[in-house]
């Protein structure tokens, strides 16, 4: 049975617009993983039609803490668009959100186009900069609960992201300098979660490789200028009632955002 990807994407777009959670799509429409990516893609096309262009990709469920929190454990890929990006130190208004959460991440900047036949070494060489990052996720589903297919269709809960100062890979003495360093999530001055960059796929440098693999399957090329969010290093924290959130990645730096609720 073929699904109406655009209609299903419309349900999620409406939930985003109104801030009202919807039931999981899979309850009414059985979805395969490929169906779910078709819904995700239809949603991205709808954003592009409104002028909101893709600026990057993100991986999800890359850490054991996140997988345990969500009860879903396969690595997934989603899309970052221009309107989701918030400047470091900037402000996010969450009053129109459903139930937003925040998580500490590492971002990679793809500095060169990655050809389809690139080797793993070529993919890693194409990563020119690394930065501490925050991702704001906001599931459009009731109670922030979903199956793998549901969360893929919902663009992996993508809602916002903040990238800290980019650090060139070279001065990091190669890649090992950030492969296993402490990560902290600090909300209003208090640490609410802590982990290591190694909690991202066992090694955060696995993220560009998985992004290339999943991207090739689901229609995303890693091209010059692409921002890649590697996935959370810890479980996510609710943003309700928060004023300021900061992520710290040892040896890399920090990134922060102010939260506003009208
Ligand atoms: C799905 C998105 C997960 C990550 O970094 O693991 C994600 C969710 O938890 O809603 O972005
Ligand atoms: Mg994330």
> What is the per-residue pLDDT across 145-175, written as a single tens digit (0 to 9) for each?
999 999 999 999 999 999 999 999 986 667 8
Q: Given this model, what pLDDT does residue 170 score?
A: 84
- Closest ligand, as measured to the CA of 151: 1
Q: Rounded distance, CA 108 to CA 207, Å?
A: 9
Any atom of ligand 1 within 6 Å of the Cβ of 231:
yes
Any atom of ligand 1 within 6 Å of the Cβ of 137:
yes
Percent of the chain with pLDDT over 90: 90
Q: Given this model, what pLDDT does residue 166 score?
A: 97
In this model, does residue 59 exceed pLDDT 80?
yes
Give tens-digit pLDDT for 104-146: 999 999 999 999 889 999 999 999 999 999 999 999 999 999 9
In this model, does residue 74 exceed pLDDT 90?
no
In this model, does residue 214 exceed pLDDT 80?
yes
Q: Which residues contact 208 (CB under 8 A, 6 or more apart)?
A: 108, 110, 123, 124, 126, 127, 222, 228
Q: Band of the pLDDT at 187, cuts 50, 70, 90?
A: very high
**What value, to the nearest 5°, has the Cα angle with vertex 256 and ends 82 and 258?**
80
Percent of the chain with pLDDT over 70: 98
In this model, does residue 262 exceed pLDDT 90?
no
Residue 215 · residue 221 · CB < 8 Å: yes
**Cα of 1 to ligand 2 centre, how many Å?**
31
Predicted TM-score (pTM) of this structure? 0.96
Q: Tell me which residues have their CB within 5 A of the ion that is ligand 2.
A: 135, 232
Q: How many residues does the chain have?
A: 262
Higher-confidence residue: 231 or 262? 231
């Amino acid at each position: 049975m073929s699904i109406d990807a655009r209609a299903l994407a419309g349900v999620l777009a409406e939930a985003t617009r109104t801030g009202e959670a919807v039931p999981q799509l899979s309850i009414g429409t059985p979805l395969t993983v490929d169906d779910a990516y078709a819904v995700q893609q239809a949603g991205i096309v709808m954003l592009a039609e409104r002028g909101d262009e893709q600026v990057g990709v993100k991986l999800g469920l890359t850490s054991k803490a996140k997988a345990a929190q969500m009860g879903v454990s396969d690595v997934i890929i989603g899309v970052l668009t221009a309107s989701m990006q918030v400047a470091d130190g900037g402000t996010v208004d969450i009053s129109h959100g459903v139930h937003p959460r925040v998580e500490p991440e590492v971002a990679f900047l793809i500095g060169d186009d990655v050809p389809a036949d690139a080797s793993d070494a070529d993919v890693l060489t194409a990563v020119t900069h690394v930065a501490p990052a925050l991702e704001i996720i906001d599931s459009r589903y009731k109670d922030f609960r979903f199956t793998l297919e549901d969360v893929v269709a919902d663009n992996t809960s993508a809602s916002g992201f903040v990238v800290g100062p980019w650090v060139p890979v070279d001065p990091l003495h190669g890649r090992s300098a950030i492969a296993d360093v402490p990560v902290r999530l600090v909300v209003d001055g208090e640490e609410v979660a802590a982990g290591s960059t190694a909690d991202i796929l066992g090694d955060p440098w696995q993220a560009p490789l998985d992004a290339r693999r999943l991207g090739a399957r689901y229609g995303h090329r890693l091209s010059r200028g692409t921002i890649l969010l590697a996935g959370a290093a810890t479980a996510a924290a609710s943003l309700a009632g928060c004023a300021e959130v900061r992520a710290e990645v040892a040896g890399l730096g920090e990134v922060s955002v102010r939260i506003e609720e009208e």
